Amino acid sequence: MTENAGKTPEHLDRLRRRAAFLRELEEAKALRDRIAPRRARVRQLREAMRRATYHH
């Protein structure tokens, strides 16, 4: 792991906890989408519209 060279143990622990949190968040979103597919479809459409109307 050359990318972790020079990083403190506290920083590495924070990165590990953040990665675990993001993994669990993705699992929760996937579970919510399976439970409420109509709501998930509406959310996806809203996100697509937001992306389509966003100007840099």
User: In this predicted model, what pLDDT tens digit does every residue of 10-47 receive, in sequence order?
Assistant: 999 999 999 999 999 999 999 999 999 999 999 999 99
C-alpha span between 29 and 10 (Å, rounded): 28
C-alpha span between 24 and 21 (Å, rounded): 5
More confident residue, 7 or 8: 8
Q: What was the pLDDT predicted at 5?
A: 64
Q: What was the pLDDT predicted at 38?
A: 93
CA atoms within 13 A on the CB side of 11: 6
What is the b/e burial string over 7-41, where b = at least 16 CB atoms within 10 angstroms of the residue's CB?
Answer: eeeeeeeeeeeeeeeeeeeeeeeeeeeeeeeeeee
